[in-house]
Amino acid sequence: MAFETPTLITFFGYLLTTLSIGYLAYKATDTLSDYILGGRQLGPSVTALSVGASDMSGWLLLGLPGAIYLSGVSEVWIGVGLVIGAFFNWLLVAPRLRTFTEQADNALTLPAFFEHRFNDSSHVLRFISAATILIFFTFYVSSGLVGGAILFEKVFGLPYQSALLIGAFVIVAYTFLGGFLAVSWTDFFQGCLMLIALIALPIVTVTELGGISATESKLTEINPDFANLFNGFTWLGFISLMAWGLGYFGQPHILSRFMAIRSRDDIPKSRNIAMLWMIVALIGALAVGLVGSAYFADSPLENSETVFIYLTQALLNPWLAGILIAAILSAIMSTIDSQLLVCSSVIVEDFYKHITKKPATENQLVWLSRFALLLIAVVATIIATNPESSILDLVSYAWAGFGAAFGPTILLALYWPKYSKQGAIATIITGAVVVIVWKQLNGGIFDLYEIVPGFVFATIVGYLVSRLSFEPSVEQTFVKLNKNS
């Protein structure tokens, strides 16, 4: 694929903009709290679009349109499940988590919150939850790096490995500098860009194809069942797609936005903005996959996850193409930066400070966080060196791991006074292990998305263990946090 000079100029202009935002955030970052949570001063609009952009990632512009391109609208059930899960995450988790984490000695990370919530002086719960975050986020970051490599490979005609290294460097650079503020400010900008791209590209493509009727005729010609929501329907498949919504309750990079919002009173407004953005964006991604299938009916794409890229290159003015290609990088960057930041904060806040117990200044802790971020980026890049990796497969694995390990833990910690430390440890371990084991099995019931058995077993085990290990002091801590909220 050869892109014209205006496209490349626009694309590089976008990269310089994000690096500039990273530098401005660097100047505004003085403490570890600033670097990890932006001093808990995010406004509702920035929080909303930051949640949406960091949530959807390259999956929204590459993975989902690619799935729709191949299978038709029956893949949209993932989106329905996500919308439902996101709404209840905002409704049930966001308000309490914002208040509880601040009351719990201003906990900056989920492991820190768990430790204070359960009075765990042994730090075992903190270390187990931190290790789980690092394991699954490494795979999640890898999925983003694969998307970045595909983008740079197609835009610049580079070999995959070279594209991977360049993409990783660009994505890591501004996060390394500006921390949470850089991530949130760029996510707001990126969320706007992604939405524009997902609205504009389907409209342009349908116009090129001769209108909605002509597009529908082309799709029917390709596959009469393309518009059938229940094409290839099975209960296992339906439950698996809808179950993606369960993952929201346990995603650290999304939950950190709830912890960072300026005030609990801002959450309803932020929720409304976020849900509107999400619904429109998912409809746009569905439309991109459908119109792409019609447009490339006579020359099918080798890699379905490049449908957005090829439509942009084929149909748009070079200057506009540069903006929409930048939107893809936006989607990828907006998730990777959040995940890298969570990993670095876990390494410093939950491992370094509690293992070494060495005194360190705020400036030293911030720089330690930056270098921890680089370490995770290197490991994730190594995993992403396989060009055959599927973005959707990598995302689904990490999403399930977090959803099953932390989803039940968060919900029970915020709503059940009798939830114990031993119960929380059992929940996290059970959820993570079930997901890992289930992923390796195939056929019959094992074709069910691993988040379902992981979430169910983790919840049951957490409940039973808590019943056997009730701690009055932990219940008192819950009552205190709940009263203050």
Query: What's the CATH code of the domain at 330?
Result: 1.20.1730.10
Residue 434 lies in a domain: no
Number of domains forming the structure of the chain: 1
Q: Is the pLDDT of residue 253 over 80?
A: yes
Dihedral through CA 466, CA 467, CA 471, CA 475, nearest 10? Answer: 80
Q: Cα(first)–Cα(last) distance of the chain, in Å?
A: 55
For position 431, what pLDDT does the model report? Answer: 95
Distance CA 21, CA 28 (A): 11
Q: Contact 110/124 with Cβ under 8 angstroms?
A: no
Averaged pLDDT, 33-55: 78
Q: Is the pLDDT of residue 2 over 70?
A: no
Q: Is the pLDDT of residue 92 over 90?
A: yes
Range of lowest pLDDT (10-19, 111-120, 212-221, 311-320): 10-19
Confidence band, pLDDT 50/70/90 cuts, at residue 390: low
Radius of gyration of the chain (CA): 22
Picking from 478, 390, 411, the residue whose alpha carbon sits closest to that of residue 119 is 478
Residue 75 lies in a domain: yes
Residue 423 lies in a domain: no
Residue 357 lies in a domain: yes
Residue 159: other Cβ atoms inside 10 A: 10
Range of lowest pLDDT (19-33, 230-244, 457-471): 19-33
Q: What are phi and psi of 407, to 5 degrees?
A: -55, -60
Averaged pLDDT, 382-404: 76
Q: Is the pLDDT of residue 440 over 60?
A: yes
Residue 469 lies in a domain: no
Helix or strand or coil: residue 395?
helix
Q: What is the per-residue DSSP string for 73-101?
A: GGGGHHHHHHHHHHHHIIIIIHHHHHHHH
Condensed to tens digits (0 to 9), the pLDDT of residues 180-208 reads 677 777 778 778 888 888 898 999 999 99
Confidence band, pLDDT 50/70/90 cuts, at residue 337: confident
For position 317, what pLDDT does the model report? Answer: 79
Listed in sequence order, the DSSP H helices in 346-471 are 353-355, 362-383, 391-415, 421-439, 451-468
Q: Is the pLDDT of residue 95 over 80?
A: yes
Residue 465 lies in a domain: no
Residue 167 lies in a domain: yes
Condensed to tens digits (0 to 9), the pLDDT of residues 341-379 reads 788 888 887 777 777 767 777 777 777 877 887 888 888
For position 22, what pLDDT does the model report? Answer: 72
Q: Contact 482/436 with Cβ under 8 angstroms?
A: no
For position 334, what pLDDT does the model report? Answer: 67
* pTM for the full predicted model: 0.84
Q: Is the pLDDT of residue 417 over 80?
A: yes
Domain range spanning residue 71? 5-106+134-388
Picking from 308, 239, 228, 285, the residue whose alpha carbon sits closest to that of residue 64 is 285
Confidence band, pLDDT 50/70/90 cuts, at residue 411: very high
Distance CA 13, CA 485 (A): 45
Residue 199 lies in a domain: yes
